[in-house]
Each structure stands twice: as structure tokens, then as C-alpha cells.
Amino acid sequence: MPLRPGSLLAGKSAAGTGPAGIGAPKAMDRTLQSIDPATGELVWEGAASDPRAVARAVAAARRAFPGWAALPLAERIAFVRAYRAELEAEAPALAELIARETGKPLWDARGEVAAMVGKVELSIRAQAERAGERREPTPFGEAVLRHRPHGVMAVLGPYNFPGHLPNGHVVPALLAGNTVVFKPSELTPAVGEAMARAWRAAGLPEGVFGLVQGGRGTGAALAAADIDGLLFTGSAQTGAWLRRAFAERPGVILALELGGNNPLVAWDCDDPAFDLDEAAALAVQSAFVTSGQRCSCARRLIVPDSAFGTALVEAAAGLAGRLRIGAWNEEPAPYMGPLASPAAALLARERVGHLQALGAPPLLAEALVAGRRETFVAPVVLDVTGLAVPDEEIFAPVLQVVRVPDFTAAVAAANATRFGLAAGLLGGDDALWQRFVAEVRAGVVTRNRPTTGASSAMPFGGLGESGNHRPSAWYAADYCAYPVAASEAPAPAGNRDALAAMLRA
């Protein structure tokens, strides 16, 4: 039996094309279903929210806002910590639900739940640092910096991390005193409803957190509603649509966390102290974890046109070809699961085919995963050196190799993208690292670490088509509240005399 609304987090199992967005409005289906991408089985079904349901959810959030914003911060923190306790109590069931809806291995889903739990205390600390209160003495009294919530915040979530990524918007927004209406990806509605149930169990007042379900039409209706902010994680294409849609609504805060065509540069690695196999493992982890469905995955491996570069590429391709692929609950545990939907897999294969048609030889061709649905896409490594290939994010286990003559060319190749989310350097030379971190255009930069290893205790966001200069994670507090600078004196004093002196002059 598939899960239905109201049956989530019970611990029972039921036998897209990039992070979800809204795009242009289209007709909404009355019934929404999510499918296990590994098996094709129905996981969840329920009614999609029509425009009237969206309007009701926003109106409820609007009514709840004054009371929620007026609560002392300590009380809002208590509610958020109660939510964390619900996540901890239901962690095994929630991890299984995430794995079933997304297809990611259970170990990966457990890591996502752990990140959701950890996000609470990190957000409390970040709110105190980034959006707290500060007082400075002045000759007339004091200057006081305070932060105020915007109002009703819409959150649109992606499918690849359906709990962790929207959680990174929702928790800071509620801490700041906003109310929230959340639309999960249409591919992962069950996880969205699980989050809503956890908030209800935490005792959150009515209307403070609302849930609407649906696809593009529901998302467009929510974006067009009476909201004060829209917080979105998803594709660059949808991000561009949202920029246009909100161009004449300056009163609505828009925070976009988008994708990237992320470079990983390997250099100065022919030092005997540098382990080639370690470098290859880092490249594979950067490109293929979560089946390449992380916005920070490495999409381009930039190497020297040398014997070392060739050896590293061969080692990485060989390792990628041995990765275990399987369903979320198989033993031994797989490293990769399927892509999120047949449409996502079809698009990935079409883009690989286009690169090959442009002249990119496969260094690792996709191997058929015997006995599996078409959603299972095995790792692909292509050599695109010297080719004019599209500057796009292939949200799949696809890695493009670029060979360059020197480090200057490597940095130029890394920056040859309209995106700017993540970038990494593999190498032991400190001077090269200092140059790389100073010159590469990316918001998240790593050295001898996977590009996917971002810390929630740091800002997460990028340049260009990767966002709109409102990074998430530690800096989410910045877009969840606006600063109010107050000049305060205990009583009017000195103003009359000063004005009189000026009049006499």
C-alpha cells in the first residue's frame, strides 16, 4: 500500500529533471503521486493544492505572523528545539522515507536526517551572530541594532535533499519570527508532509508553518500570492524565471540557491608525497556521490596535459567504473542509487549523447545496470578538451575532463562558466592554493576535500547563475530578517538650545 497523507513517520514501508522548480505556470493535477525511482512502486499519493488552497495557507500564515513575531526569541527557540527532538525520535523512519522517495542509499539518507537535526543548533547560533541585537553608547544615549522578520515566507524545496535543504530555509525563517508556507518538490511530497507532521508534533501554533503540495502550478500560485519572501533551492532555469517574476516586486525578499557547473582542478600532484589513488578517490566522491545529484558535485575535472593528468583521469575512471549501484535498501550497501525520475535519467542520457556528438570521446561509457529500471544511470567520464561544449549543469553522474597546459590555463578554465557555486583544488603547493582561492570565482572552495563537503557552519551560495548573492546555511539569517538601526535618547534634550543658536547666527 502506498503512504497516504496522515500516515507518515510511522516507520512502515510501502511495497524531474534537476532540483525541483516551478517554471512557467501550467495546469495543476488534482492528484499527486510520488514513485520509488528504484522500483517504480507508488510511495505516496494525495491531493495537489489548487490556487484557493494556496491562498488559504498564505492567509493563515498572515494571521499567525503578528503573534509569532511577538514571541520572545527564547520561546521560538524552544519550539524549534522541540522540532529537533521530533526529528531525532523519528530519524530511522524519516531516513527510510527519504531513501524511498529519492532513491538515494540509506546511508546517504541517514546523513541527511543528521544534517536536519544539526541544522537547529547551528541556526540558533547563526541567528545570534548574524541577526542579533547590538547596542553602542552615543553622546545622546545609544544606537541600537535590531532585526525584524519580513512576514510570510514561501519556501520551495528540491527533490535531491528534500528534508535538509528546505529545512535550511525554514528553521532560520521561523527563528527570525517569520511564518512559512512550504511547497516540497512534486517528486518528494511524503518527506514534505513528514516535516509538517514534525512541526505539528512540536506544538507550533496554528498557521505558523503551512504545507501545500503540487507541481509547477502550485509553485507559481504560491509565488504570486501575498508573500513577503520566497526562498528557493533548485535549478538555474527556475531561478531565472523567479528573477523575472519578481522584478517588479521589490518588497519581496528573494533568496535563490541554485546549481553549478563546478570545476575540480588537480595540480602539482606529481610530487611523490601526493597519493594518486587518494586524488582519484576525491575526484570520484566529488562527481558521483548521490548519483551526481548534488548542486556542489564536480562536473568538470581540469588536469595538466601531462603523464600525471592522464594517470589521474585513468585512475578516477577506473574507480568510478567499480562503484556499486543499487536500490536504497540493498546489502551490501550501494554507493549510488538511481536518478530521481525517468525524466531525469532521459535528460542526462540526451546530454551525454550531445557531448559525444560534439566529439567528446568516452573515457568511461555508461554501463548498463542489468535488471534495473531506466532510472539507474551508471557513471560517465568524457574528455571534452578543446571542444565548445554547453555550459550547463548535468544533474547526473557525468564528469567532463579538460586538459590544460599550465596553472594559469587551469584557473581560466575553472572560471569559464556562467555559474559560480563550488570549486576545488587537489594539490599540495601552498602558493598555488593561495592563488586558486584568490582567483577562482566560486562561493564554496575546497582544497584536497570533495567539492560536496560544505559545512553548515559556513555560508553556502554562489555567483552568477548559481544564486543571487544571498547565500544560505550560516548566512540564511541574513535574508530571514531585515536590520533596523535605531538612535535612542531617554528624553528630548539639547535640541531647542542648538536650534536657537543656529537661528541667532
Measuring CA to CA, which residue among 163, 166, 138 is closest to residue 153?
Answer: 166
| Cβ–Cβ under 8 Å, residues 461 and 422 | no
Instruction: Work out the burial of residue 406: count CB atoms within 10 Å of its CB; fewer than 13 is exposed, 13-18 middle, 19 or more buried.
Output: exposed
3-state secondary structure 427-442: CCCHHHHHHHHHHCCC
The catalytic residue among 295, 366, 392, 393 is 295
| Residue 480 CA from chain centroid, whole number | 16
Q: How many residues does the chain have?
A: 505
Distances (CA, A) of 166 to 18, 156, 221, 340, 411: 15, 7, 18, 17, 33
Measuring CA to CA, which residue among 172, 191, 35 is closest to residue 480?
Answer: 172
Tell me if residue 295 is catalytic.
yes
Distances (CA, A) of 102 to 88, 288, 336, 428: 20, 15, 11, 37
Sheet holding 298-304, edge to edge: 362-364, 380-383, 398-404, 298-304, 262-266, 422-426, 444-447
CA distance 97 to 190: 7
53 SS3 class: helix
Distances (CA, A) of 364 to 113, 318, 352: 33, 8, 12
54 SS3 class: helix
Q: Is the peptide bond before 149 cis (omega within 30 degrees of 0)?
A: no
Lookup: cell for 109: 539518507
End-to-end CA distance of the chain: 87
Q: What is the DSSP letter of 370?
A: T
| Cβ–Cβ under 8 Å, residues 14 and 230 | no
Q: What is the DSSP letter of 200?
A: H
The catalytic residue among 101, 112, 186, 257 is 257
CA angle, residues 173, 179, 180, in degrees to nearest 5:
75
Tell me if residue 297 is catalytic.
no
Amino acid identity, residue 430? D
Amino acid identity, residue 38? A
Q: At what angle do helices 73-89 and 189-201 cross, to 10 degrees?
A: 120
List the catalytic residues. Answer: 257, 295
